[in-house]
Amino acid sequence: MKFWNTFLYFLIAILIIGTIGIWLPAILDNVNESEVDKFGLLQNCATYFITIIVAGCLELVIHFQNNAELKNKLGFTFLIILLIIISIATIVGISFSIHYESYEISKWIVYIGVPVSWVLWWISNWKRNDMNPMDALGGSV
């Protein structure tokens, strides 16, 4: 049951609601009969996966700080800070590649970043006993 709650939360919150900022502008462009802004779409994808990565990192830090020794906490915190720096560098890289109209570079950053963010989300939420998907909806029903 726990797996299905987590899976449904991932499906609804992360994949459907979380990606509204990606697919809604594309749909609106199609409805308005204008060309879909491919660089805008890549920027939207980048901000989507960066937020999931940062949230996953913060979840791991909180979980790890409660369950580890000080020596391991410092190494893990360093790793999380490194991931956040890489995330910021990714956004800057995508921004520069979009500015200089290098669509292929941006596309590959997104192709790698989105699945990595999903894997990190699953790692940070896998077998968490304190996760209640109803918290996102305002509490237990």
The pair of three-digit structure tokens given for residue 49, joined into one six-digit string:
């996966």
Task: Say which residues have a Cβ less than 8 Å from residue 101's Cβ, sequence separation at least 6.
Answer: 39
> What is the full DSSP assignment across 1-30?
-HHHHHHHHIIIIIIIITTHHHHHHHHHHH
Instruction: Record the pTM.
Output: 0.73
Burial (CB count <10 Å: 0-12, 13-18, 19+), residue 105: middle
Tell me the pLDDT tens digit for each residue of 13-39.
Answer: 889 998 999 989 889 888 888 888 887
Confidence (pLDDT) at 83: 75
Tens of pLDDT, residue by residue, the chain (141 residues): 677 878 888 888 889 998 999 989 889 888 888 888 887 888 888 889 888 888 887 777 777 767 666 566 677 777 778 877 877 887 787 777 777 777 788 788 888 888 988 988 888 887 666 556 555 555 554
Largest CA distance in the chain: 58
